[in-house]
Amino acid sequence: VEEGAKRCGLRGRALKFIKDFLANRRFRVKIGNTMGPETLNNRGVPQGAVISPTLFNMVLADLPTRLRRIENLGFTIYADDVTLWTKGGSLGDQEFTMQQGIDEVAKYLEEVGMEPSPEKTQYMVVARPKDYRKGIAQQAQLRLMGKEIERRTSIKILGVTFEETAGSTKWLPELKKAWDQALKLIRRTTSKSWGADEKAIRTMAEALLTSRALYCCNWMNLTKAQWKQLERLNNQTMRVVTGLPRYTPLDELRKYAGMNKIEEKAESQQIAHFQRLERTKHGRRLLEILGYSTEGRPPIEEASPPWQDIGITDHKPAFKGQGTKQRNFAAKKHLQWLAENTQCKEIRYTDAAKHDGAAAAAFVDLARDKTWSETLPTQTSVKEAELRAILAAARDIRERIDPGNRAWIFTDSQTALKACRSCRTRSRTVKKIKNIAEELRKLDSNITIEWLPGHNNIPGNERAHQAAAEAASSTSSAPGLTSRVETTDEMSIDPDEMAEQAKEGRKLYLKGLLLTEEDPIPPGYTRWETVRLRRIRTGTALTPAKKASFGLKDHEDPTCKTCTEGTMATTKHVLWDCKGLEDFRVEAWDSLPSEKRPTKLEDWTHPKGQPQHRKEILDSLISYIRDSGVHHFI
C-alpha cells in the first residue's frame, strides 16, 4: 500500500498518515467466552474504513497501464473485480491474448502482495450458433496459476448476467422471480380499500421493481417478445398502484396509473448515460473508446480546487422535515431571528419561478423596500434561476454594504444551497457568488446564505416569490421594478446547468409519453374512495352483470335485486337508473346546488371544470355509493 501511494505521487504528511494508519494493527478472535491471543496484522487494509477503498485502488493503479500494452485486450477494473475480454482474429489468437492478460494480472498481484482466486475466476466464449454446433467453445482453454479456469455458459458482471448466446434467457426469469417477490411486499402495504397512498406506492415500485429492470435491460439483447414480458410485469405494478382489476383495458390502466413503459424509461436512461459522459473528460474518453466522436463539443468547465473554496453557507444540517409542523417551526425560528437582529440592514430574500418554459429570478431588500427581478432565457433550469437570484442579491450587497458589516441571503431552495456549499463546484454562477464573497472578505465583510421554508408567511420570501412569478408569467418589464436580460456569451450554459437542463428535458419527454386523464380525480380522497371512483370511470366495477359476462361455472344472476323490473345490474343501472335506489340518489343530489346537479351519468362520474367544482360533485357520488350500499358491486 505504501509503495502504491508513492507511485500515485503522495509525499509528506499524506504518506506519513497512511503509514501510521496501517502500522501496528492487531486483532483477536473470540469464540464464545474464549478470547484468542493478540496477533499482529501487517497485510491488507481495515475493512469498513472510509479510506480503505482508496488505498486499495492505489495498489491496483498501475495494473491498467500494464494491461494496455497487450494488443487487442479490453478490460475493466471495479474494486477487486477484474474483467478481461478480446474479439477479432482467430480462436487461437484470442486465446493467446486472453492468456497474456490473465498472466499479467497474476504477475502484478504477486508483486503487490496479493494473489488471484482461481476458484472464483470464470470465462465464457461468445460465438455464433453455427460455431457452437462445431464445438468451438470447447476448444479454448485458459489457466490461472497452473489451474484450468472453469468455462461457463453465462457470467454475472456487476450484477448483470451475460450469456454466451448474447441472449437474455437466464436474466429474464431471474428478474421475474425477484419482481414477484418484491410486488408481494408492496401488496402488503396497500389494497383497494386501505393502505399507502399512490405516491408512496409508486416510489416503492420505482425503487424495488423498475430499477431492477432498468439496471440491466439496456445491456441486454432483448427481443420484442421479451420487451412485452417486461411490460407485463410493469402492468402488474400499475394494477397494484391503481387498485384496478386484471380485466382493465391497458390504455385505461396506463392513463390512471401515470407510469411510463419500461422501454420508454430505458430509452430515457440510455440518453441520460450518454449526456452524463459528455460532461466530463473521462466520460468523453469512454465515448471515444465506444466509437463516438467528441469533436465540436464545448469545452468542459473545470471544478474549483477545494483548497480555494470559500464557505458562504451556514453549517446547519439540511432540513429534512417537510411536514407542516416542521416548516412552521422553521419559519417561526426565522421570524424570531429577525426580531433579535433588527439592526441588520443587509438582508436579501431570493426566489425563482418558471411558467410555461419562461424562468425568472428575483430578490427583495425589505430594509430599503426594494424589489428586483429579471427574466431569464427560456431553457434556464429552476436550479440555475435560484442561483441567479442569489448572484443578483450578492451583487446588490457588494454595492451597498459598509466595510466590516455582515450580510445574509435567504433562499427557499435546498438545491441551490447545496450547490453553494459544494467545495468542488463547476457551476459558473456559484463561482461568481463565491468571488463576490471573497471580495467582501477583503473589506472585512461576510456574506452568508441560509435556507428558510418557502410559502410560510415570511414577508420577504412571499414578496420575492410574487416578483419572480410575475416576471416569469409576463415578458414585459415594469419600469423600476424588473429588468430583462438577454442571453450573452458571458452567461453561457455551464456543465452543472447543462446537467439540470438535460434532467428536466428527460422528465418532460417521459411526461409527454404518458396517457393523460381529462378532468382527473381531484386530490383529497382516501384510498377506498379513489379506487371506487376509478373503477366507475374505467367501467371495471364488478357488478352482477359484469360477473355474469365472465361465463364462470358458478352462474351469476345478472339482474338487479333492488328493483322489480328484472333489469341487468350494470354500472349505469345501479348508479343512475335503478328505481329502488332513487331515494339515495335524490338525497345525494340535494347536497348540491341546483345548477351543479348532474343531468346524465357522465356529468356525475366525469365532472368538468375546476378541481373544487369536480370534487363537490364527486363527493355526492361517494355519498350515494356509501349510503346505498352499491360499493359492494364496485
pLDDT of 486 over the 70 cut: no
Average pLDDT for 60-75: 93
Q: What distance, in Å, lies between the first and last C-alpha atoms of the chain?
A: 68
Q: 382-400 and 428-442 are packed helices; what angle lies between their axes, rounded to 10 degrees?
A: 20
pLDDT tens string 285-327: 889 888 888 887 778 888 888 888 889 998 777 777 667 888 8
Q: 224-242 and 250-257 are packed helices; what angle lies between their axes, rounded to 10 degrees?
A: 60
Q: How many helices (H) and strands (E) does the chain have?
A: 26, 17
Q: What is the pLDDT of residue 491?
A: 39
Beta bridge partners of 122: 150
- Pull the grid cell for residue 534: 376509478
pLDDT tens string 385-404: 999 999 999 999 999 999 99
Q: What is the pLDDT of residue 582?
A: 92
Per DSSP, the three-state class of 410 is strand
pLDDT of 489 over the 70 cut: no
- Name residues whose C-beta falls within 8 Å of residue 150's C-beta, 6 or more positions apart in sequence: 121, 122, 123
- β pairing state of 347-355 and 150-151: unpaired
Q: What is the pLDDT of residue 552?
A: 77
Q: How far apart are CA 73 and CA 69, in angstroms?
A: 9
pLDDT tens string 204-243: 999 999 999 999 999 888 999 999 999 999 999 999 999 9
- What CATH number has the domain spanning 306-477? 3.30.420.10
Closest by CA position to 501, among listed 414, 383, 355: 383
Q: Please tell me the pTM assigned to this model.
A: 0.80
From the number of C-beta atoms within 10 Å of its C-beta (0-12, 13-18, 19+), residue 462 rates as: middle
Which ranges in the chain are annotated with CATH 3.30.70?
A: 1-163
- Pull the grid cell for residue 146: 497452473
Which ranges in the chain are annotated with CATH 3.30.420.10?
A: 306-477
Q: What is the pLDDT of residue 304?
A: 82
Q: How far apart are CA 628 and CA 582, in angstroms?
A: 9
DSSP 463-511: HHHHHHHHHHH-SS--TTTB------GGGPPPHHHHHHHHHHHHHHHHH
pLDDT of 487 over the 50 cut: no
- Pull the grid cell for residue 568: 341487468
41 — pLDDT class (breaks 50, 70, 90)? confident
Place of cell 468571488: 435
128 — pLDDT class (breaks 50, 70, 90)? confident
Average pLDDT for 51-74: 92
Comparing 170-179, 387-396, 409-418, 496-505, the range with the smallest average pLDDT is: 496-505
pLDDT tens string 428-473: 899 999 999 999 999 999 999 999 999 899 999 999 999 999 999 8
Q: At the topology level of CATH, where does 1-163 sit?
A: Alpha-Beta Plaits (3.30.70)
pLDDT of 477 over the 70 cut: no
Q: What is the pLDDT of residue 322?
A: 67
Q: How far apart are CA 370 and CA 364, in angstroms?
A: 6
pLDDT of 476 over the 50 cut: no
Place of cell 459528455: 278
- Pull the grid cell for residue 48: 469498513
88 — pLDDT class (breaks 50, 70, 90)? confident
User: Contact 361/386 with Cβ under 8 angstroms?
Assistant: yes
Average pLDDT for 316-339: 84
pLDDT tens string 19-39: 888 888 888 899 999 999 988
Q: What is the pLDDT of residue 166?
A: 85
What is the percent of the chain where pLDDT is above 90?
A: 57
User: Residue 183 phi/psi, 5° resolution?
Assistant: -65, -35
Beta bridge partners of 365: 370
From the number of C-beta atoms within 10 Å of its C-beta (0-12, 13-18, 19+), residue 85 rates as: middle
Q: What is the pLDDT of residue 488?
A: 40
pLDDT of 478 over the 70 cut: no
pLDDT tens string 606-620: 999 999 999 999 999
> How far does CA 564 lie from the centroid of its chain?
56
